[in-house]
Chain A
Amino acid sequence: MGTKNLKRIRNVAMIFVVAAVWIFYFFPIYWMVSSSFKTRADTFAIPPKWLFWPTLQFYLNSFTDPKFLKVIQNSVIITGTTVILSLLLGAWAAYAFARFRFKGSLTLSFSLIIARMMPPIVFIVPLYLLFNSLKLRNSHMGLILVFTVFNLPFTVWMLKSFFEEVPIELEEAAWIDGASRLQAMGRVILPLIAPGLAATAVFAALLAWNEFLFALLLGGPDTTTLPVFLSGFLGERDVEWGDIMATATVAVLPPTLLVMLVQQNLIKGLTLGAVKG
């Protein structure tokens, strides 16, 4: 009887703990999404309104605004090209590090980790001057290059960990059949690590999609990405929170859905392949 009661108390305590965790992590998300459906009057209501008539006004505003559509287009082009470029270059380098032992291979691969650890702000002044003199400021190309270089340490290490999981014998079999190393890599290895490639692509996309510092300082009116656009709202005289929260919801939604799809390799993605999930 006593142990039964104890068990019941523990179960109830557990429910409270889990509920508290949900509220802590989800309330801010709920507040963002619900604020995007609140009219101006409801947002500024004191006390805050929990029940309200939802309005689609802000989403309609956004998606009929050519400026906003241009921003989405910028974000998609820049993110997409960055992902392709960093996956392509990253896969070559990762293959070299996984399959060849050469002089300086350790130093080079670890120098990439150090580059990942550096605060981006360290590079901003020289890059700003460099981009000014090369006329790369306010160009898609410029942002794509910078995002790619900050993505490469991640893609190289992540893909290296996937390449290392594939037994060399599989490749050797392809060589015997007359394939070159690159052919064997393309036809045998890459299809085998397809889930790993997908996860790497998603995390690379996340980095490019959310990047703010370089997009703000090296970009310009022609390259405004979603984060830069979002930050721009605050400079306006009348801050329209409905617009802000609708845009924020649009910015958060695609990466969240994508990451849900690659959960298997989530932990690797979060730690550069250092921890297996």
Chain B
Amino acid sequence: MTSGEQRASFEQGQVSEGMQGQIRAAGGERRNRLLGLPLHFILIAPTFLIVFGLLVYPLGYAIVLGFSNKILTGSVPFKWVGLENYIDLLEVDSEMWTSVGVTLRFALVGVFFEFIIGLSLALLLNREFRGRTWLRVGLLVPLMVPPLASGLIWRIIYDDEFGVFPHLIRTVGANPPIFLGDPDWALYAVVATEVWRSSPFMVLVLLAALQAQPVETIEAAEVDGASGWQVFRLITLPFITPVIIVALLFRTVDALRTFDLIFLLTAGGPGTTTEVISMFIYRWGFRHFKLGFTSAASILLMIATLIICIFYLRMLVVRQAEVQLTQE
């Protein structure tokens, strides 16, 4: 911003502040109150009332339950057990760690492929070619399929008797595994369906970032003789990095909360090879009815999610600080 522009915007600020002064003089203070309370308070009260009642209070309840042996139905008398649930959960050979491993593999492999596919297709769609608009609109369709329905669709595609995918593999002469029943394959079969459904999210969000990029900077670099790769690495990539971080944040937390898809595709099986953390909590809460134990696990999941959010948000902040430094 040049100093002339700065002065102009400063003067504009003066003008609008002056105007606000006039308005305030015309009885504006009363405008910001309702029923004797500050208006903004009244406006946010209903939202935070039900957020408190249905999110914060239950969370507090879960923390309390986590220290008890509460079960849903049955004859075991209620008692406080201190940290016992947490100790059971965090023990080296506890089932939770298996489930954490599954969740991490599901999230990392899935988000990795979604990102690779997302970025490549976004770059493709950022070019001019016939049918581009159609493809962009078409990508919305898998995104609109609820995870539950996508689980059902892929179950008939993977079916080892009449499924079309194993059939295609047989036609080329290979011997397909039982995708959803083989412990070595099941998790990756599930990941593939998640990549199918969610990679359009990456494509569309990254494409929006690419299209927001000013054409002039790219043209200037090309005039200066930069190669396509150089333009991408030195100009485009830094420009879209904040959006990449936001997209990765969304996809990662969504992968961590995955429940519907796995509930329908494999229900966590075979064995516990696809039991992500949400399925683990579901099983202990609503198959074994150990609500105290389940609450403790929920609290641990909440803490883990918070840590991941903070990690990404810090990346965003650090990134913005860097941008400011390079601009100065």
Contacts and interface: CB of A to CB of B under 8 A. Distances in A.
Interface of A: 14, 17-18, 21-22, 24-26, 28-29, 31-32, 35, 43-48, 89-90, 92-93, 95-97, 99-100, 102, 105, 108, 112, 114-115, 117-130, 145-146, 148-149, 152, 156, 168-169, 172, 175-176, 180-182, 206, 209-210, 212-213, 217, 227, 230-231, 234, 241, 244-245, 248, 251-252, 255-256, 259-260, 263, 266-267, 270-271, 274-277
Given A24-B196, A43-B162, A175-B31, A102 B40 contact: yes
Interface string B288-308: 000100110011011001100
Interface string B143-161: 0111111101110110001
B257 A121 contact: yes
A102 B37 CA distance: 13
A149 B149 contact: no
B23 A26 contact: no
Given A21-B135, A126-B58, A270-B204, A117 B301 contact: no
B260 A227 contact: yes
Nearest to A25: B142
B325 to A, nearest CB: 23
A115 B184 CA distance: 35
Nearest to A149: B54
A123 B200 CA distance: 29
A28 B151 CA distance: 11
Contacts of A260: 137, 140
25 contacts: A18-B135, A25-B196, A26-B138, A46-B162, A48-B163, A118-B305, A119-B253, A119-B277, A119-B301, A122-B305, A123-B54, A124-B282, A125-B294, A130-B58, A149-B55, A152-B51, A180-B31, A181-B32, A182-B34, A248-B153, A255-B144, A270-B205, A271-B246, A275-B246, A277-B204
A118 B56 CA distance: 12
A146 B88 CA distance: 31
A31 B164 contact: yes
Nearest to B290: A125
Contacts of B209: 275
Interface centre among B135, B137, B153 (most CB of A within 10 A): B153
A253 B176 CA distance: 33
Interface stretch (B41-49, B216-224, B225-233): B41-49
Nearest to B52: A149
A24 B148 CA distance: 19
Given A102-B38, A122-B301, A270-B205, A28 B153 contact: yes
B204 A124 contact: no
A126 B152 contact: no
B148 A212 contact: yes
B133 to A, nearest CB: 10
Interface in B43-69: 43-44, 46-48, 50-51, 54-55, 57-59, 61-62, 65
Q: Which 7 A-B pairs have the closest CB atoms?
A: A126-B58, A119-B257, A210-B146, A100-B40, A96-B43, A126-B61, A96-B40
A169 B61 contact: no
A151 B29 CA distance: 33
B141 A26 contact: yes
Given A212-B148, A213-B260, A248-B153, 7 more contacts: A25-B141, A115-B51, A119-B253, A125-B285, A126-B61, A181-B31, A212-B146
Nearest to A111: B51
Given A28-B157, A123-B55, A256-B144, A114 B306 contact: yes
B213 interface: no
Contact of A22 (B135, B152, B156, B162): B135
Contact of B302 (A14, A112, A118): A118
B257 A89 contact: no
Contacts, number: 257
A131 B285 CA distance: 15
Interface in B1-44: 16, 19-20, 23, 26, 28, 31-32, 34, 38-41, 43-44
A32 B146 CA distance: 13
Contact of B298 (A100, A121, A206): A121
Contacts of A92: 43-44, 46-47
B129 A18 contact: yes
B256 interface: yes
Given A181-B39, A267-B204, A149 B257 contact: no
A46 B19 CA distance: 77
A45 B159 CA distance: 12
Given A22-B138, A46-B162, A117-B253, A89 B149 contact: no
A28 B253 contact: no
Contact of B201 (A21, A120, A213, A270): A270
A89 B46 contact: yes
B28 A175 contact: yes
A152 B57 CA distance: 17
Contact of A130 (B61, B196, B291): B61
Interface centre among B145, B201, B263, B278 (most CB of A within 10 A): B145
B138 A271 contact: no
Given A28-B150, A227-B260, A125 B295 contact: yes
B80 interface: no
B153 A31 contact: yes
A213 B278 CA distance: 10
Nearest to A45: B162
A210 B167 contact: no
A108 B141 CA distance: 35
